[in-house]
């Protein structure tokens, strides 16, 4: 039953995620692995996605290791606002007038890295709704 096996896959994926002590973005933040940085400040880092979905595809991540928007707390309010402002700053730095910001939350919504991140995608027409 395709629906069941997909659900089982996501359950296993979520368990593996919880058991994992770190994410690839944590390793990027620590400088353990390189990234193509486009912006950095005390609260966040922005770098190019390794598998770009458009001519511009940048990820904005908080330095604080929040797993996803689901785990964000009331005292993250300023940080979340900052991430969106940095996303807009990055889009403008990249010369975009139109772009899409995306935050996938949970495996079934497409989240594969469990460190909160904002996708900034642009440079081509973007269809709606997404898949
Ligand atoms: P999501 O699927 O919303 O969790 O997005 C994770 C994104 O991280 C994907 O678009 C991946 O292509 C991207 N990604 C994974 N590893 C790296 C990496 N080492 N450097 C840059 N982007 C990455």
**Residues within a 6 A CB radius of ligand 1:** 24, 35, 49-51, 59, 104, 110-113
At residue 131, the pLDDT reads 80
Is residue 103's pLDDT more than 90?
Answer: yes
Q: Where are the domains of the chain?
A: 6-122
pLDDT band at 19 (very low <50, low <70, confident <90, very high): very low
User: What's the 43 CA to ligand 1 centre distance in angstroms?
Assistant: 19
End-to-end, the C-alpha distance of the chain in Å comes to: 21
> Is residue 117 annotated as part of the catalytic site, yes or no?
yes
Tell me how far apart the alpha carbons of residues 113 and 67 are, in angstroms, rounded to a whole number: 8
Return the CATH fold of 6-122: HIT family, subunit A (3.30.428)
Query: Which residues, other chains included, contact 74 with Cβ-Cβ below 8 Å and sequence gap of 6+?
Result: none
Q: Could you tell me the distance, in angstroms and rounded to a whole number, from the CA of residue 36 to the centre of ligand 1? A: 12
């Amino acid at each position: 039953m395709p629906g069941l096996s997909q659900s089982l896959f996501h359950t296993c994926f979520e368990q593996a995620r919880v058991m994992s002590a770190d994410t690839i973005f944590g390793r990027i933040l620590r400088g353990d692995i390189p990234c193509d940085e486009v912006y950095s400040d005390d609260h966040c880092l922005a770098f190019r996605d390794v598998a770009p979905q458009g001519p511009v595809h940048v990820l904005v991540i908080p330095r604080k290791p929040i797993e996803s928007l689901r785990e964000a707390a009331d005292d993250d309010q300023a940080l979340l606002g900052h991430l969106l402002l940095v996303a807009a700053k990055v889009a403008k730095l990249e010369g975009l007038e139109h772009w899409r910001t995306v935050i996938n939350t949970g495996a079934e919504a497409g989240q594969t890295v469990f460190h909160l991140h904002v996708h900034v995608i642009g440079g081509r027409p973007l269809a709606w709704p997404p898949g």
